[in-house]
Structure 1
């Protein structure tokens, strides 16, 4: 079998567990799927040795997802008897987009239709040139159609998310574990050092707010294992607190569902849509679900007059700012209104917080403009550059010392680093946090790739470093920062490994490179003509947890939808904000259809 593999990447800076269901039998009826009388669908899969026929059992029940072709409003009609087989069906999953969008005219028509629809549903935000004005708006970079992705990998990612939520909460409660983990990192990373110092200060003084809130996004890539000859799910990183995408992801899913409906309309009478017979398009609403988490945390604070403080920086990439507003402000206000509550959301920069926030030392209540703060959501403050002066650090310390619920508090923030990810991959470490749950540990270990710390000057560490120098295409060097910052590839990585001191090495980890499977899609960027590209998709699963750190009791634990971002396969890394990635959705194919194509 020949697979088109991406040019190696392990990083892209770029739901509830159940999805809404629509009847796949109806989808098959509408798509004129060719079925046998026993529900069998004949398929052919091409490989380098020639075409090879095989059979796959048809689905006789309902499955979670959106049919690839149906009514524009997503409704379904009554199921009819399956048609008798008249021909063989070739499923070319990874190339379905160019196969069905067969010429430039059709592509341009679909792109224009899609952009009009995106604006009509609010999938747009301020432009880079007008960051502080909403009079001019544009769409984010988008994939024309949803990109193919293996169903089993998507399912696996959701299955482990609630375990991940709980794991990182438990780590945040283990002060000694955090200190031990970072003892070498702080020698070469001044930002992490300051965060550890604040965590120590809070530990010594005593925690004044035991409720912990963490919103999380775990990012994954598909990985082709050449030895096993199979496709696997591999974790890129886990982001805690300052996560992007839930607003964009929600509306992009709506956009792509509409585009599948439109594709079925323009291809009516010409055939081809039957290749999507077994696909699923899961409903994705992380904006609503993550807004619910923040609202529930606000309610748990217990003061109906307290405010929600949203710390952000509006001069960042406009979409990062706007999509945060969608679930932090608009969604929380809507949920509160339904309950008969009023939640005032106050947006401020760190600089404004330093000027307007006040900590009452008598009871450790946090106030902004004289109003008590119930919840602080930190959409900023996760790298050293976000603290240009001591004033920003001091207001962060005041927040941590207060009774306000912090999303995330400094202890949870310290769990979302590459170092924690690397330490968790070591034998026996996860077992410390799940001592009586080996199945949960095993499920998580399946998604880990190779990770090594560099703080030791021993034979094992030196051998890994030497292997990375000799075979740089197989590794990525990573600092503690998220969002793809501080990653080194190829010769740049080699130079870094050769010149760093032992103390400097402690701030980095080496990661085995992930080899994702590439698919084809059209990429649309504002004011540019869409173009066909080999792309790889990174799948980020949102999760949230609210728990009591004083007794370990979990009050809320949920997987809350996904974010898909795709980038050209020939780039080591690329994000939406950086200009090389696009916001995407997943169209789920059975593994044999996804892998079994040229």
Structure 2
């Protein structure tokens, strides 16, 4: 275990030093595009088509301490995770069993089932127009204070709309700039340049997008960003757009599903995705579709929105992610991989089942499994779940037809989180809220939920969190008391990677990292959902 004492963090600052650091952080953020659009002041919650103001993203003043060994281990594991989830996406039978609407979680979860049914219909229609898939992934971790050591534990693996890469790079640069300009007033011997790792996530994610564009083979085609209406996190997306144009001469088109319902069509002979534009007399061919939307039911207010999503899937454009890759990111897949032998089957290349040049990664199975907490499905009747029940008090009470997985979740509720098949934050059920939730959960919906042991993070570590003004007019008048709080926190590390794959071959790379920090009173970790701030790491 690292000798670092987390309860001593952050170093003490005088009010004058705190104000100076806050000024340095906020002016850097505003000067370098570490930005959000402000909350809408409109009754309809809409953003203006042409922004007139911006606010800095929520951020930390001092980076979060993170053990150097665990940080490096997370980065080294990313390539294995890249290949693992690429192979999961290529295993149609596995996804049908785990995520499908006939025998998988799609029976209980309408959103998942609708996506799977659309994918199945496309498969049944004939040969897929595009065998390649692109994943821009993020694997999220917390430190688990297990007995006398710290362990790296995975929260989730994201296969769609893995956000905050560019803004996290700018948060790390902000902390390096503050270090260079103030030395953090020599407040801690840990705050030195060699403990501030470089972060080049933007160029790495763009590398993945540009490789997909190149593989498509039409030089003047464009990349489509499918975005949500009234998106506040536009600058995180547009840094990717600028890098694609400036470094790779690739143009980007941004449209919502509603826009695409009007503008998108398929070439009847080639299945190329063609977009019309009110600003250009010539239509655009699309090489790659990058989804920053379509991960939540609210993105589909009517069936026609699903029709548009499925039209995109049928096209020859390379999808990031494709429907099977989006389904591969489901919590049910994460749970299924923890079952005996499942992970090893995907990591093995016995019989060259993933291709003659594919790597056999079974040597990494133990390292991957070591990052997982215990997980099981609420509808599980597996023998290991039954065995676990036998060792718990009160487990023998009459439960009628309640499955062992649900009974175990009730008995272990204080140490659990329940997760549905949802992305975007704000969907989980924690600890003491679990029994009442289980009481109200219809039996037919149990299959849609996964129980996971809580990661118990180091206690006593705090941080200085800086919120933007709650209104675009800055009505807090810059008050340091309202802008900065020092509270006990939890910091989550995310590792980015990309994978371009199809027909067994996988081209992949680990490309960067982020840190999101939240107060311990918040169970969720989504910056966009309003629960946390952007941070970086000081290696200890």
Q: Is the 8 A contact 2:377 2:405 kept in 1?
A: no
Q: Is the 8 A contact 1:264 1:273 kept in 2?
A: no
Residue 380 (1) aligns with residue 287 (2): no
2:204 pairs, out of 289, 296, 300, with 289
1:332/1:535 CA distance change after superposition, 3 Å = same
Residue 116 (1) aligns with residue 35 (2): no
Residue 553 (1) aligns with residue 505 (2): yes
Alignment of 1:37-52 (within 5 A): none
Residues of 2 paired with 1:367 and 1:300: CA distance?
A: 18
Gaps of 5+ in 1: 4-44, 46-90, 338-342, 590-598
1:544 pairs, out of 490, 498, 509, with 498
Residues of 2 paired with 1:493 and 1:96: CA distance?
A: 32
Residues of 2 paired with 1:98 and 1:507: CA distance?
A: 44
1:304 pairs, out of 196, 219, 231, with 219
Q: Deviations over 1:552-595 (max 9, x none)?
A: 112x3111111100001232224322333110001110xxxxxx
More displaced 10-residue stretch of structure 1: 112-121 or 506-515: 112-121
Aligned twin of 1:412: 325
Residue 97 (1) aligns with residue 5 (2): no
More displaced 10-residue stretch of structure 1: 360-369 or 411-420: 360-369
2:164 pairs, out of 245, 248, 253, with 245
Alignment of 1:17-166 (within 5 A): 92=5, 94-99=7-12, 101=13, 103-129=14-40, 131-132=47-48, 133-166=50-83
Classify the secondary structure of the residue corresponding to 2:483. Answer: coil
Classify the secondary structure of the residue corresponding to 1:274. Answer: coil
Shift of 1:109: 1.5
Classify the secondary structure of the residue corresponding to 1:517. Answer: coil
Residue 353 (1) aligns with residue 236 (2): no
Number of residue pairs the alignment of both structures matches: 483
Larger Rg: 1
1:299/1:487 CA distance change after superposition, 3 Å = same
Residues of 2 paired with 1:494 and 1:160: CA distance?
A: 35
Shift of 1:457: 4.9
Alignment of 1:255-266 (within 5 A): 255-264=174-183, 266=185
Aligned twin of 2:128: 207
Gaps of 5+ in 2: 42-46, 277-282, 349-359, 387-402, 470-481
Residues of 2 paired with 1:413 and 1:274: CA distance?
A: 44
Classify the secondary structure of the residue corresponding to 2:10. Answer: helix
Shift of 1:276: 4.2
Residues of 2 paired with 1:365 and 1:274: CA distance?
A: 57
Q: Deviations over 1:273-308 (max 9, x none)?
A: 434469611111211211121112111111112121
1:307/1:520 CA distance change after superposition, 3 Å = same
Aligned twin of 2:483: 529
Q: Deviations over 1:459-489 (max 9, x none)?
A: 7364453343234220011101023342111
1:289/1:278 CA distance change after superposition, 3 Å = closer
Residues of 2 paired with 1:184 and 1:494: CA distance?
A: 25
User: TM-score w.r.t. structure 2 length?
Assistant: 0.85
Q: Deviations over 1:24-73 (max 9, x none)?
A: xxxxxxxxxxxxxxxxxxxxx7xxxxxxxxxxxxxxxxxxxxxxxxxxxx
